[in-house]
Structures are given as structure tokens and as C-alpha cells.
Structure 1
Amino acid sequence: MSETASPVRRGRSLRFAAAFLVLLALVGYVVVQYVTGGGAPRCTVRTAEGDGPSYELTAEQAGNAATISAVGTTRGMPERAVTIALATALQESALRNIEHGDRDSLGLFQQRPSQGWGTPEQILDPVYASGKFYDHLAEVPGYSRLPLTVAAQRVQRSGFPQAYAKHEPDATLLAAALTGRASATLICGTKDGGGQGGDPAQVRAELARSFGPGILPKDRSGRGRGVDADAREVSVPVQSTAGVGEAGTGSPGGQGGGRDDDGARRGWELAHWAVARADELRIAEVSFGGRVWSAGKSDEGWRSSGTAERGTENVRIRIAQ
């Protein structure tokens, strides 16, 4: 009898060998990613109590969510409107600013240029797209009292209106943090613990785009700067947002509150925005309300800064060198 292996056995051995090599490559990749800290940075949002549900998302998703929220509150929309917008974007794009979709749909909300939502360039700008969503939502009578699916559907005209419902719990958690109602509840990691190369001018520009040009103090020339233009720290004064809400009345979340409560809420809105944008904008540290988040210690969350908490103060954003 021949000692030579049959073609079938040789083929089987080759397949096993190939599969083994693929497995080794996969294991090697996972080990390298673990050792080097590779992979997309992650963010986590929790309830204020810390013992309830949590939601994990990428830094890209968190940054887009922070923009959606900032545009809403700057327009005087209540927290419920932000929740509706976030749930809609979670369903339409998974909070990613995508350049494709059904027919000519684009961006966070899958808005269509052919349906009058704007040019493709405009729709792919998260600030513009968010503003257009809120424009349409504000035209829905009593939207804050409607079921989320109904309110979202009256804006989106989706073929699957019930799909928005499954995102409401996660959107509610995000909205509570990003509107500042829940303090110290959003934490994010960065690619290299803060790294290098942050641009304070870019941080100031993004603050102004998201929250409006009045968010930063003016220098003698009348331009919003937030301390020295060359400084590595941007200091944002906390200003109460009381007096705005649905249809321009009420508090930012549709609820009353004292001056200190409004100031604290505004501060945490700004602080959470900075943490959500930290990876993109190379933000190394954010402090407010006696708490501090650091990119290099992001696994420790919000730590005590060792300073006494006051009702209102500046949100301090330090940019990586």
C-alpha cells in the first residue's frame, strides 16, 4: 500500500493549517491592541446615582451626541427635545456622520437634499443638521408630551417609525448628562491619554459653533477668546440658562430651578461636552464643580479636584501640549 497521503487528506491538512494561521494572526492582533491600548476610544454614561443602567459608545458617537445636545439647549429646547433628537440619530445613523444612506440620505439624521433639508455639505455638518432637526421638531405641536416615536416620526417621516422606541432609554441617559441635569456621569477615554498637539483656537471655535458666539468672554477687540489666545487653558464662565425651554419658556429641561441649580446644570453641560469631544480636540483635562476629569486618568472617572464646590464658577478646559 502506498505511503503517500491522498489528495483529500492533503487538502484537509492545508485547510487546517490555513485556519490555524488565521487564528494565530487574530490572537496576535488582539494582544497588540490590548498591550498598546489600540482600538477606538470608548465613553460611558451612567445614571446620577451610579447604580442604574449605563450606556457605552465610541468617542466619535459621544462627540456627535454632545453637538446635538448643545445645539438644542442653545436654541432653548428642553431636555425632552434633546432626548428625541438623540434617539432619532441613534436609529438613523448610530450617531455617526455617514456620507451614505437610503437614496440621497446623509448625515446624523439621514436628511435628504432632494427633500429640502439642505445641500450635502450642509447636512454633513452636525451643527447644521441638528439645527434643522430642531427647527422641524419645534413645529410639532406639544412634541414634549407626545410619545417619542410619534414626535420623531412627525419630523422624519420614516418607513419604520416604531424603530425609534428602542433607543429611548439610551437617549434619556445621554440627554441627562449632556444637558447637565446629571452631574459627573459621562466619562471618555482618549487614544493616548491626552497625547499632544491640541489647538486652543480650535477648542474655542468648536465651543462657539456648538453653543453660540456668546459662550466665551470677549477680549478688548470684542472677540470671544476665553483667557489669553496663546494659553493652553480655555476658561468658560458658567451662565444660567434659566428662562428658556419649549417655545422659549421655562428652564432648559422644562423644570424650575434656582440660580445656583441653573448654573451647576450649565456647568456640567459644558464639562460633559468637553469630555465627549476630548479625543477629537486633544483635551487633556476638564474641571468643574470641585471635580476633575483627566485624559491620562480617564479610567478613574471624575475625581475630587481638592477645591471647594461653589454654586457657579468657570469650566476649565486644558488642552494637550
Structure 2
Amino acid sequence: MHRRIGVILFGLAALSLVAAVGIGVIFGAREITDRINPECTVTVGEHTAKLQREQAENASLITAIARQRGMPARAASIALATAYQESDLYNIDHGDRDSIGLFQQRPSQGWGTEEQIMDPVYATNAFYDALAKVDGYESMVITEAAQEVQRSAFPGAYADHEDDARAIASALTGNSPEALTCRAPSSVDSADATLTSSGLTPRAETIRREVQERFGDQQVGGFAPGGVSEGHMEGSAHYDGRAVDVFFRPVNERNKVRGWAMAQYFVANAERLQVSTVIYDDRIWTARRSDEGWRDYDVPSSSGGDRAILEHRDHVHVDVFA
């Protein structure tokens, strides 16, 4: 009898081991696949971080909120390293005990309700609220600052993601121009082309609202047929109400950084927002040629107009598919 029980227990243990190995293989396979076929890449100096679309979208949100709050790029690096370790930059609805969301925050520990924590905007602001209370976080080692907020049982693990976090934060805060690029569909299903009250199609109107929500009170322009167009070339998406211009004036280094933060934000969210083209600072990214990343933007010599405007030195141009 004892021998039979022992055999049964051994069998159960063997099955558990196989299941654990199987789970490990599944997650390992996903990680390998993600690394081999990244949808987005960030290259700063000699370091390249690889991201899937959802990870890039969440990273861009985390970084944009840091900028909204007037926090330094260091804050975004700390938040990104934390979210990498806690959820791999996915907004997951499970974790250790009652941990959930991007930062694996726990309702039982006062971070908010489950519904609140599963809202990436709420969760990110909650993280930054706690980080802002850490005296001197700007000069702390990333792992130490993250641990002050998270109180993790494995504080050293945050260090595994420091290089990726710093590169992504540098790109999405605009400090590293044209460092982030993503692959995107070369076409999407057609949509309603009826112009809204802003003179934009519904898709372009979504871009305008996104600018206001993530970047605050920027000067935003569009174009409605029959209106006056400043410097737009023939065939421009502005004439169909599919384009939004966001101005960063005067043209100086501070505004150039702000412009690149926005330009790369929209590339990171290109699939979600059905973005076709992003142009800034004489560089262009297009969904149809997204495998090529950022390219030189060649303005036709016959286009006329103010060349600085045509080269988009003072504004980010975003247009959407028809």
C-alpha cells in the first residue's frame, strides 16, 4: 500500500514537473519569438531594445505621463524598468496574490480598486505619485528608486531592465531623435470620411484629441476643404481632413526635444491610431515603408512655399489612412 502511494506521489510529482517545464517552454517560446520578431525597436548609441506593439504603446504612455507631470526623463526610466520587471510592459489582470496591472499594484495595499489599477493612466499616475515622495529619486540608482516605491521581494531584478528602460525613455522623451521605429500595417480598412466640426475626419480627430490628452495645450492645426492652407503641397492629406499639424515654436533645442517626443509617440501608437505618416525635422516615417524606419524627407524642388515649413522644422505632421 505504501509502495503504491509512493508510486502515485512520484507520478504526480513527475506530472507537475512536466507541467512546469511546459509552462516554462510556452513563456520562453513567447519571449524568444518577441525578441526575434519585434514590432518596435529603440536604438540609442550601441544599445537596442526590442518591443512588441502593446509594450511600445504602454511605454509611450508611461513616458508621456512623466512629461505631462513635468518629471525628468529619469522618472520615466525608473517607471519603465519597474513595469518591465513587474509585467513585461503588459497590462495583465493577474499576478502574485492580488497584484495586477502594469506595475503589479495591489488593491489590498492601498493602490486603488481593481478597476482603477487596470487603467494604465491611473496606475502610472499612482506610481509617479509614490515616486515623487521619494526624496532625491532623480539621483538614485534606478533599482533603489524602484524599490522605494514597490517594496519588492526581489529588488535586484529591476537592474535587469535598466539599459532598455533608459534607451526607451531617452527616445520617448525626445532626447534621442528618430531612435524609435515600429512596423505597422501598410493599409487598413477604409473609414468614414465625413468631416467633423474640427474639419478633420473621425480618425484624424482622434489624433487631435490624443495630442491634447497626452501633451497638453499645444498649438494644433488641421485643414478643411475650402479653407486656407499654409505651405501644404499638392496632394497633401490636409486637403482631405486626414492630417494634423502640431507646432513647436520657436525652433530651438528645447522645442526640438518636445517635437521628437511627440513624433515618436505617434510611431509607437501607429497601429492603434491607424497612422499613415509622421513627419518632423526633415525626417519621415510611413506605415507603407515602416520596415525602413525613419528616412530623409525630400521636399520636391517645385513645391514652392516656405522651405522651413515644408521641411516640418517647426511642427510635427501626423496623417491617418483614408
Alignment TM class, shorter chain as reference = 0.7 to 0.9
Q: Following TM superposition, by how much is the alpha carbon of 1:298 offset from its aligned partner in structure 2, in angstroms?
A: 0.8
Structure 1 counterpart SS, 2:59: helix
Distance in structure 2 (CA, Å) of the matches to 1:302 and 1:235: 18
State the alpha-carbon separation in 2 of the partners of residues 197 and 112 from structure 1.
42
Identity of aligned residues (%): 46
Alpha-carbon distance between aligned partners in 2 of 1:301 and 1:92, rounded to the nearest angstrom: 30
| Aligned residue identity for 2:214 | S
Partner residue of 2:65? 71
Aligned to 2:292: 300
1:43 aligned partner, one-letter code: C
- Could you say which residue in structure 2 is the equivalent of 1:289? 281
Shift of 1:40: 7.8
Q: Call closer, same or farther: CA 1:105–1:138 in 2, change over 3 Å.
A: same
Q: CA deviation at 1:121?
A: 2.0
What is the DSSP-based 3-state SS (H/G/I as helix, E as strand, rest coil) of the residue aligned with 2:96?
coil
Q: TM-score with structure 1 length normalisation? A: 0.73
Establish whether residue 143 from structure 1 lines up as the match of residue 128 from structure 2: no
Indicate which of 187, 205, 211 corresponds to 1:207. Answer: 211
Corresponding residue to 1:217 among 212, 217, 220? 220
Q: Does 1:316 align with 2:307?
A: no
Question: Paired residue for 1:122?
Answer: 116
Partner of 2:189: 196
8 Å contact 2:242–2:321 — kept in the other structure?
yes
Any gaps of 5 or more consecutive residues in structure 1?
1-38, 220-226, 241-258
Give the secondary structure class of the aligned counterpart of 1:187: strand
Distance 1:193 1:92, change over 3 A: same
Q: Is the 8 A contact 1:111 1:123 kept in 2?
A: yes
Structure-1 residue corresponding to 2:257: 265
- CA contact 2:263–2:316 (8 Å) conserved in 1: yes
Matches of 1:121 and 1:94, distance apart in 2: 20
Alpha-carbon distance in 1 for matches of 2:60, 2:87: 15
Q: CA deviation at 1:55?
A: 1.3
Q: CA deviation at 1:202?
A: 2.4
**Structural RMSD (CA):** 2.5
CA distance in 2, matches of 1:202, 1:114: 36
**Residues 1:112 and 2:106 aligned together:** yes
Residue deviations 1:139-179 (CA, integer Å, cap 9, x gap): 00000111111100111111111110010000011011000
The aligned counterpart of 2:40 is 43
Q: What SS class does the counterpart of residue 45 from structure 1 fall into?
A: strand
CA distance in 2, matches of 1:118, 1:210: 22
1:236 is aligned to 2:246: yes
Structure of greater relative contact order (alpha carbons < 8 Å, 6+ residues apart): 1
2:176 is paired with a residue whose SS is coil
Is the CA contact (8 Å cut-off) linking 1:40 and 1:59 kept in structure 2?
no
> SS state of the match for residue 217, structure 1?
strand
Aligned with 1:265: secondary structure?
A: helix
Cα distance change on mapping 1:286 and 1:162 into 2, 3 Å: same
Q: CA deviation at 1:119?
A: 2.1
Q: Does 1:100 align with 2:98?
A: no
Distance in 2 of aligned mates of 1:169 and 1:86: 10
Residue pair 1:127, 1:210 contacting (<8 A) in 2 also: no
| 2:12 aligned partner | none
Measure, in 2, the Cα distance between the counterparts of 1:93 and 1:134.
17
Match of 1:185 in 2: 179
Q: Secondary structure at the match of 1:118?
A: coil
8 Å CA contact 1:260–1:312 kept in 2: the answer is: no
Specify every segment of 5 or more residues in structure 2 that has no aligned partner in the other structure, as ranges: 1-35, 192-202, 223-236, 300-306
